[in-house]
Amino acid sequence: MTGVQTCALPICFPVTIPPKVNSSFDSAWSPPTALYDELTLQGFRVLASYFESGMAFCGIYEDGVDNYVEYHNKKMIPAQIWDDYNLDNFFTEDNE
């Protein structure tokens, strides 16, 4: 089934069976956790990851829980973040 739209706030997503939306985007300063919270309240399952190298934070948001990490070295970054953002290519010996 396609062609149906589900709306959350002013954003509408096409629905497929099973319903799933994949997205990638840049956001200023922090992840849009208020949007994720609203989607969760409306019954959506939300799994999102984020990585901000300049301010040294990252995290995984899953169904209403934001697991935020301020990292001081690359060993503090969760494996899922490492994989999602291919951080092997980001970190070098000089950039740890």
Give domain status of residue 47, yes or no: yes
Stretch 14-40: mean pLDDT:
80
> Is residue 26 in a domain?
no
10 found inside a domain: no
pLDDT at 1: 37
Identify the domain containing residue 95 by its residue range: 31-96
Each residue's pLDDT tens digit, 40-76: 998 888 999 999 998 999 999 999 999 999 999 999 9
Q: How much is the average pLDDT of 31-39?
A: 92
Q: Is residue 3 part of a domain?
A: no
Q: 53 in a domain, yes or no?
A: yes
Instruction: Count how many domains the chain has.
Output: 1
pLDDT the model gives residue 15: 58
> Domain for residue 86, yes or no?
yes
In a domain, 24, yes or no: no
Residues 60 and 80 sit within 8 Å (Cβ to Cβ) = yes
pLDDT value of residue 21 = 75
6 lies in a domain? no
**pTM of the predicted model over 0.85:** no
Non-local CB neighbours of 12 within 8 Å, separated by 6+ positions: 5, 6
